[in-house]
A and B are shown apart, each in its own frame.
Chain A
Amino acid sequence: MSVRVSICASLAILASGAMATSAFADGETIAVFTKNQTNPYFQTVRVGADAAAKALNAKTLQYIPTKPDSIPEQLSQIEDVVVKKPDAIVFIPVDYKAMVPGVEKINAANIPVVNITDRSAGGKFVSFVGADDYSLGLETARYLLKTLGGKGNIVIIEGVKGSLTSVDRVRGFNDALKENPGAKLLASQPGNYQRLQALQVMENLIQSYPQIDGVLAANDAMAVGAIEALEGANRKAQVIGINGTKEAVDAIKSGKLLASGDYNGFLQGCVGTIIAIRSLRKEPVIPEIVLKPTVITKANYQPYETPVESRACPSWDEAAKLGGK
């Protein structure tokens, strides 16, 4: 089903630039804003939102910029949505600062909006649902350092410089390193969340450091890129990534990747949408849910092998226990 939905979505994009697709019949309409079609993370958010809407007999309307993370495009999609007036909005800003005027437009139109994933710097929201990048980085790095016995030569591969996610994840990595004085940070270099760039950064660092024991990558694509570079040079190091993508779970299963911090897009999509619908139905909601970090390792990867399409959203009682404040 969700495959067909995304096909419809993409065709609509090809046809018209800005797009909207209705997935399920009857009930309230929830507009879901995500950043792009390329990052598997946002696909899991959309699947989660669709699953929650279906379970509660509502329908979703997906808004995705055709140019990934495009600020002007998301702004024009907001203008579009203010005219169409869906019952509620689940919103991931493409940029947490630049989209504040857009959020204010939604507020002015009196459409209830739930903020998920990246916390907006301003505007009024029913609730915020997200993962904490800092503790995700901290916990995943702690796991790697524990595996290495608290010592060794460590390399950090950063994401897009200045992006909120990368800044917080790298801060978490660094704090975990501070807790382990036996570990030495050799270099912290940018991979821009890109696989190829991470591969090349790692190939270059291998040239100058004869011994690298651990690699902390700010996302899974870069972690897997780094592993390719290490394998190509016949070197062995423990590597961790963040996002919990299917590729990362496969790599954990085969022993290539040590761990991946689970950003849990599916749950964020589920819970954000459930809260939006509950607020419309005048049921109590929680103003802020920050999901506790989960580190996916060889010991607990099995449930993540289930494709997101066949996972079920948690009930409201379960969701409220996931990290409500």
Chain B
Amino acid sequence: MTDLTKQTLAPGRAFISDDLLQVFYRLLAALLICFSLAILSDSFLTLGNILNVLRQASLLFFIASGLTLVVLTAGLDLSVGANVALSACLAGTVIHQTGSPALGVLAALATGGVIGLLNGLMVTALRIPSFIATYGMLWVLNGLTYWYMAGEIIHGFPPGFRQIGSGYLFGLPTPVYLLLVFLAIGTIFAQRTIWGQEIYAIGANPVAARLSGIPLTRRLLLVYAVSGTMAGLASIIFLARLNSAEADIGESLTLPAIAAVLIGGTSLFGGVGTVFGTFIGALILTLVLNGMNLLSVNASWQPLVTGFIVIVAVWLDMKTRRRGQ
């Protein structure tokens, strides 16, 4: 049994070096964007703006990093945005009712995690394709959130809690610390632990993975639960940063999160990609918006520019990948 496991994991190691190359290309693309912006705008290459971009990228990264693990198993989680909305609204209520930010944080993480676990159960126990299961979950969550909020807005949270989103620690915004911590945890988990490697193996070849004794169901449950919990974490950052929650905050979050994962080089077919790549993907999307604001690009052109850059980024990815093979 152990021999078999090693055999399936062997190609996994080959993927990592290929992945490293991909991450390098991504980093280059991000630097190229930075370089162009630095020439075009005086205010781009300032410490203030770099910290600003990192803080903005963190929210997207939290959602996208959990999602990366799901995509690595050749699955998809379309419910992340709706998850953020419900988790934020419930956590907001808990903080208002109890006055305790700690309980609010727990509520957000628990809500997110339970939603993720339910997604995982639909995918494993009911064998519903993840795209459909999580799409259904998106609607269920939207329905629950709309009903619960009934058009209301929850706003006004304690200053201590708000530090999580808008505070600074030794000159760095608090969300940037969280970003670095979860970037490290995600990278180590995916690349350096057996469970992480098993997730790559499941995505690369689920049949071979099962035959080699990888507990498919448990790993998939874990992956969806992590994706949900990260959405819960993102909802806390959202609450702390914006000081309010309403039912429709999730809709504009899902597609950018998926885009960040794909621009970051994770393949929708599973088995290929890195959490670090996703960080670069989130950074590129944030840089594009930041640059357009700094350069005062006309509002009409902004979606067009974003779309163009997403297409070019993925096209470059496929081109470099082909060369790699």
List the interface of chain A (C-beta within 8 A of B): 3, 6-7, 10-11, 13-14, 36-40, 42-44, 66, 68, 158, 161, 186-190, 192, 194-197, 199-201, 203-208, 221, 224-225, 228, 231-232, 245-247, 250
Which residues, 252 to 296 on B, are CB-close (under 8 Å) to A?
Answer: 252-253, 289-290, 292-294, 296
Please judge, given known A-B contacts A37-B247, A195-B249, whether A200 and B299 are in contact too, CB under 8 Å. no
Cα-based distance from A44 to B142 in the complex (angstroms): 20
Give every chain B residue within 8 A of A6 (Cβ-Cβ): 147, 150-151
Q: Are A66 and B299 within 8 A (Cβ)?
A: no
Across the interface, which residues of A come within 8 angstroms of B294, CB to CB? 204-205, 207-208
Partner of B49, one of A39, A187, A207: A207
B252 in contact with A68 (CB, 8 Å): no
From A11, A161, A228, B299 is in contact (CB under 8 Å) with: A161
Q: Are the C-beta atoms of B299 and A204 separated by less than 8 Å?
A: no
Contacts of B124 in A (CB 8 A): none
Residue of B nearest to A197 (CB): B252
The smallest C-beta distance from A211 to any residue of chain B, in angstroms, reads 13
Q: CB within 8 A of B41: which of A40, A195, A208, A231?
A: A208
Choose one: B46, B142, B299; the contact of A207 (CB below 8 Å).
B46
Q: Nearest Cβ distance between residue B88 and chain A, in whole angstroms?
A: 11
B143 touching A189 by the CB < 8 A rule?
no
Number of interface residues of B (CB under 8 A): 48
Q: A203-B56, A207-B48, A245-B153 are in contact. Are A10 and B143 (CB under 8 A)?
A: yes
Question: B151 near A43 (CB under 8 angstroms)?
Answer: yes
Residue of B nearest to A198 (CB): B242
For residue A12, give the distance in angstroms from its CB to the closest CB of chain B.
10
In contact, A42 and B293 (Cβ under 8 angstroms): no
Docked-complex contact B293 and A228, CB < 8 angstroms: no
Q: List the A residue with the shortest CB-CB distance to B144.
A: A14
- Chain B residues with Cβ below 8 Å from A194 are 249, 252
For residue B146, CB closer than 8 A to chain A, the reply is yes
Q: Are B52 and A207 in contact (CB under 8 A)?
A: yes
Which A residues are in CB contact (< 8 Å) with B150? 3, 6-7, 10, 37, 43
Q: Are A204 and B52 in contact (CB under 8 A)?
A: yes
Q: What are the residues of chain A within 8 A of B44 when measuring CB–CB?
A: 207
Q: In the complex, which residues of chain B have a beta carbon less than 8 angstroms from the beta carbon of A205?
A: 293-294
For the complex, give the distance between the alpha carbons of A242 and B150 in Å. Answer: 20
Q: Whole-angstrom distance between the alpha carbons of A43 and B246 in the complex?
A: 13
Query: Which secondary structure characterizes the binding site on chain A?
Result: helix
- The distance from the CB of B125 to the nearest CB of chain A, in whole angstroms, is 23
| Closest partner residue, chain A, to B140 (CB atom) | A14
A186 vs B58: C-alpha distance when bound (angstroms):
28
A225 touches B242 (CB 8 A): yes
B243 and A158: CB pair below 8 A? Answer: no
What distance in Å separates the Cβ of B304 from its nearest Cβ neighbour in chain A? 11
Cβ–Cβ < 8 Å partners of B143 in chain A: 10, 13-14, 66
Known: A189-B299, A208-B43. A201 touches B249 (CB 8 A): no
Q: Which residue of B lies closest to A188 (CB)?
A: B299
Q: How far is the CB of A242 from chain B (nearest CB, A)?
A: 15
Q: Is the CB of B166 within 8 A of A195?
A: no
- Cα distance A11–B147 when bound, in Å? 7
Q: CB < 8 Å: which of A42, A66, A158, A195 contacts B151? A: A42
Contact B242 A199 (CB under 8 A): yes
A38-B146, A66-B139 known; A203+B153 contact, CB < 8 A: no
B151 touches A39 (CB 8 A): yes
**CB closest chain-B residue, reference A192:** B252
Cα A264 to Cα B155 with chains together (Å)? 21
Chain A residue with minimal CB distance to B299?
A190
Chain A neighbourhood of B246, CB < 8 A: 38, 40, 195, 221
* A-B complex: 4 closest residue pairs judged by Cβ atoms: A43-B151, A10-B147, A204-B293, A38-B248
> Quick one: closest B residue to A15, CB to CB?
B143
Give which listed residue, B42, B249, B289, B296, contacts A187 with CB less than 8 A. B296
Residues of B within 8 A of A190 (CB): 299, 302
Partner of A39, one of B142, B248, B299, B300: B248
Q: When chains A and B are docked, how far (Å) is the Cα of A198 from the Cα of B206?
A: 43
- Is B18 interfacial (CB 8 A cutoff)? no
Nearest A-chain residue to B152, judged by Cβ = A40
Specify the chain B residue showing the minimal Cβ separation from A232: B166
**Complex-state Cα separation, A204 to B42, whole angstroms:** 13
Task: Assess whether A40 is in contact with B153, with CB atoms less than 8 Å apart.
Answer: yes
Using A189-B296, A199-B242 as known contacts, say yes or no to A246 and B139 having CB atoms under 8 A apart.
no
B244 contacts the other chain (Cβ, under 8 Å)?
yes
- For B253, list chain A residues within 8 Å (CB): 196
**Interface contact B52-A199, CB-CB below 8 Å:** no
Instruction: Determine if B238 is an interface residue (Cβ-Cβ < 8 Å).
Output: yes
Establish whether residues B151 and A200, one from each chain, have CB atoms under 8 Å apart when the complex forms: no
A32 CB, min distance to chain B CBs, angstroms = 14
Cα(A148)–Cα(B142), bound, Å: 42
Chain B nearest CB from A244 CB (Å) reads: 13
Per the bound structure, the CA–CA distance linking A300 and B213 in Å amounts to: 71
Residues on B with beta carbons closer than 8 Å to the beta carbon of A232: 166
- Considering the chains assembled together, what is the distance between the CA atoms of A30 and B241 in angstroms? 42
A182 CB to nearest chain B CB (Å): 21
| CB under 8 Å from chain A, chain B span 154-211 | 155-156, 166
Which residue from chain B places its CB closest to the CB of A46 in the assembled complex?
A: B151
Report the minimal beta-carbon distance from B49 to chain A, rounded to whole angstroms: 4
B241: chain A residues within 8 A (beta carbon): 196, 199, 228
What are 10 A-B contacts with C-beta separation under 8 Å? Answer: A13-B146, A66-B142, A66-B143, A188-B296, A189-B293, A195-B244, A195-B249, A203-B55, A208-B41, A250-B156
